[in-house]
């Protein structure tokens, strides 16, 4: 059930971001379901593979989507148990997402374009720099709760009453990770058309049809997954199931609005500032870890 709820959340998430940007800029803008209409159009087209492409170009988009779907089975939506749960499942979760990143990087190199290779190098660097922030955050939560799986994390966090500061700082880190993982403003701009400043978009320049649709769907799912992490800190255990679902929906809706707000009022960083920003996020995670470790 948790996986189904995450998929349903992902169905509306990109549309809410788009509507937020449209409202804040005074435009009518696209409808709530326009991103999925675009995905449907892509699914009904044929994929065009670069003449220099190998087997990697054929399988990479499917592997990227499969890795994100597989990672979602470990995430408990408050009020529901995850499809799979075991001690240390967060390690498998992290490296399933890493597999997806690895395949989008090698798929960019496989196309034989220097621009796509440039974007892939940036993606590899930023993924390397943000990985410590995730593991430091997980380590902090593990020390705080005594748990060693996502399900244990939520159960213990939901019963704790001393979380305001940790919850706010962790939410900040999760939002930053989501922006970096999905190459959004201020790290990247999905609407840009200048190859020299692209990260994600330049890696998929030669991807088309269903292959491009799979990559879009994977990005939407990742947003829903990171929003679910935020709900761990906000939804108490001892409330009615329907109230949990309502709060969960409100959190995901607010998360999407925050992303749209950032993209409306925040300029993209200059490329050399991206590394500084990502390292700062990891430094904040380190501070939280040290505070929890010694308190």
pLDDT tens for each residue of the chain, 295 residues long: 889 999 999 999 999 999 999 999 888 888 889 999 999 999 999 988 877 778 999 999 999 999 999 999 999 998 898 989 999 999 999 999 999 999 999 999 998 777 888 889 999 999 999 999 999 999 999 998 888 999 998 888 766 644 677 788 889 999 999 999 898 888 988 877 776 778 888 888 889 999 999 999 999 999 999 999 999 888 877 788 889 999 999 999 999 999 999 989 988 888 889 999 999 999 999 999 998 888 7
* CA pair distance 228, 134, nearest whole angstrom: 15
Q: Domain range holding 46?
A: 2-294
If one counts the domains in the chain, the total is: 1
Helix axis angle for 209-232 and 241-265, nearest 10°, is 120
* CB distance 104 to 257 below 8 Å: no
Global pTM reads: 0.93
What local confidence, expressed as pLDDT, does residue 201 receive?
Answer: 85
What local confidence, expressed as pLDDT, does residue 159 receive?
Answer: 61
* CB distance 130 to 281 below 8 Å: yes
* Tokens 């799986």 -> residue: 149
What local confidence, expressed as pLDDT, does residue 217 receive?
Answer: 96
Our CA angle for 247, 243, 24, nearest 5°, is 30
């Amino acid at each position: 059930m948790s996986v189904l709820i995450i998929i349903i959340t992902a169905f509306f998430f990109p549309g809410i971001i788009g509507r937020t940007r449209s409202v804040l800029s005074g435009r009518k803008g696209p409808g709530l379901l326009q991103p999925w209409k675009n995905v449907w159009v892509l699914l009904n087209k044929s994929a065009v593979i670069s003449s220099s492409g190998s087997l990697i170009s054929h399988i990479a988009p499917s592997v990227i989507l499969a890795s994100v779907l597989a990672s979602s089975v470990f995430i408990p939506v408050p009020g529901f148990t995850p499809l799979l749960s075991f001690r240390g499942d967060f390690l498998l979760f992290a490296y399933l997402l890493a597999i997806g990143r690895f395949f989008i990087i090698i798929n960019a190199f496989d196309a034989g374009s220097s621009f796509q290779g440039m974007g892939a190098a940036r993606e590899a660097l930023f993924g390397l720099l943000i990985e410590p922030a995730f593991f430091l955050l997980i380590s902090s939560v593990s020390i705080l709760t005594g748990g060693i799986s996502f399900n244990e994390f939520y159960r213990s966090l939901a019963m704790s009453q001393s979380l305001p500061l940790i919850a706010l700082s962790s939410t900040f880190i999760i939002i930053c990770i989501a922006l970096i993982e999905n190459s959004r403003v201020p790290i990247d701009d999905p609407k840009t058309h200048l190859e020299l400043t692209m990260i994600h978009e330049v890696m998929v320049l030669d991807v088309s049809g269903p292959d491009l649709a799979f990559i879009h769907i994977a990005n939407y799912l990742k947003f829903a997954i990171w929003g679910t992490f935020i709900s761990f800190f906000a939804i108490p255990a001892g409330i009615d199931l329907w109230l949990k679902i309502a709060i969960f929906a409100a959190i995901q809706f607010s998360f999407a609005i925050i992303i749209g707000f950032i993209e409306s009022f925040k300029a993209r960083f200059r490329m050399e500032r991206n590394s500084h920003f990502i390292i700062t996020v990891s430094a904040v995670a380190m501070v939280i870890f040290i505070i929890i470790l010694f308190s």
